[in-house]
């Protein structure tokens, strides 16, 4: 029986904690970082001789899974798993796991960083100083502004707490409100339309859906023209063409984006050229601490499945 565990997360390396965990269990980590482009042949070969995998965010298709007859478990070293064909995994008897609640504080801090960067125009100030200038444009304060949050999982809760600490009004739209636990903490619950319309900063923390983006042209017409959209969740949540049009028309004031529909961002993407847009490279969950937690949790999920146990974070 194969004992190979294919690891595609580029921050997991031989000799680290995850490597030691797997080897102690008698497993053989094989490293194939998800940087650059894989040919179709390389994709089909990726998991072919593996019994388990710890995967990054690259697409994992039905054909890739079908080409791996020994594969029993695929663990995402992260929260999102929409890059994995879970229907195919179910049909092929492959367990898919994610690593919940390992990076929500990191994600919330990045959302706050994007809010501050937009509020203080740092994407124009920093290059200006680097180029020898001394830009002195006035920004705005977060205190007393309304932070609208869509989605109230771990990262939504974490950014809500940060908003309250900063003296913001925090308005949350979620299908599962827990008002009794949070109203006393200064967090209000409202329907999605009310949240979108009232927000000075609208921060997305919901899962990716299989339908249309939840933020589209109709959304932007109901937002304040001074509002800032913040997305650290999934690029598929936002219609980027509609976002570009809304920014050009002045329907909203700006955006802070850590995720995009197509990554890495294309050089021709008009969002790159907009001075009121701050873009980071899908870094929200990528702190040293969160990476360590995610890697260990993914490795434990692989080990648990191979030991016949129910893993924490099982998706299918």
Q: Which residues are catalytic?
A: 234, 263, 282
Report how far residue 229's alpha carbon sits from residue 75's, in angstroms, rounded to the nearest whole number.
Answer: 31
Residue with tokens 């260990």: 296
β-partners of residue 52 are: 5, 73
Report CA torsion sign: 241, 159, 110, 254.
positive
Cis before 264? omega within 30: yes
Phi, psi of 168 (to 5 degrees): -90, 155
The answer to whether the CB of 46 falls within 8 A of the CB of 8 is: yes
Under 8 Å CB-to-CB from 168, ≥6 apart: which residues? 142, 143, 144, 145, 146, 147, 201
Count of H-run helices and E-run strands, the chain: 12, 12
User: Within 10 Å of residue 55's Cβ, how many Cβ atoms?
Assistant: 24
Structure-token pair, residue 138: 């006035």
Report how far residue 281's alpha carbon sits from residue 207's, in angstroms, rounded to the nearest whole number.
Answer: 19
Report how far residue 160's alpha carbon sits from residue 41's, in angstroms, rounded to the nearest whole number.
Answer: 45
Under 8 Å CB-to-CB from 184, ≥6 apart: which residues? none
């Amino acid at each position: 029986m194969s004992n190979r565990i294919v690891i595609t997360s580029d921050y997991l390396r031989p000799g680290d904690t995850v490597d030691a965990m797997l080897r102690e269990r008698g497993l053989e980590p094989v490293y194939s970082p998800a940087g650059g482009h894989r040919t179709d042949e390389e994709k089909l070969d990726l998991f072919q001789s593996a019994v388990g995998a710890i995967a990054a965010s690259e697409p994992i298709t039905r054909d890739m899974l079908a080409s791996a007859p020994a594969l029993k478990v695929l663990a995402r070293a992260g929260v999102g798993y929409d890059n994995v064909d879970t229907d195919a995994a179910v049909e092929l008897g492959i367990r898919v796991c994610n690593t919940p609640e390992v990076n929500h504080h990191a994600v919330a801090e990045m959302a706050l960083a994007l809010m501050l960067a937009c509020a203080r125009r740092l994407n124009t100030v920093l290059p200006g100083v680097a180029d020898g200038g001394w830009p002195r444009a006035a920004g705005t304060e977060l205190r007393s502004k309304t932070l609208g949050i869509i989605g109230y999982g771990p990262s939504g809760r974490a950014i809500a707490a940060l908003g309250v600490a900063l003296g913001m009004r925090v308005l949350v739209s979620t299908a599962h409100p827990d008002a009794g636990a949070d109203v006393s903490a200064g967090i209000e619950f409202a329907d999605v339309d009310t949240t979108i319309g009232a927000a000075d900063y609208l921060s997305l923390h919901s899962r990716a859906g299989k339908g249309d983006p939840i933020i589209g042209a109709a959304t932007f017409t109901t937002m304040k023209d001074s509002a800032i959209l913040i997305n650290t969740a999934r690029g598929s949540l936002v219609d980027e063409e509609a976002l570009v049009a809304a920014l050009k028309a002045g329907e909203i004031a700006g955006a802070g984006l850590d995720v995009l529909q197509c990554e890495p961002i294309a050089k021709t993407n008009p969002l790159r050229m907009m001075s009121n847009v701050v873009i980071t490279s899908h870094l929200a969950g990528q702190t040293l601490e969160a990476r360590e937690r995610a890697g260990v949790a993914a490795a434990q999920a692989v080990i648990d499945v191979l030991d016949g146990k129910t893993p924490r974070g099982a998706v299918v």
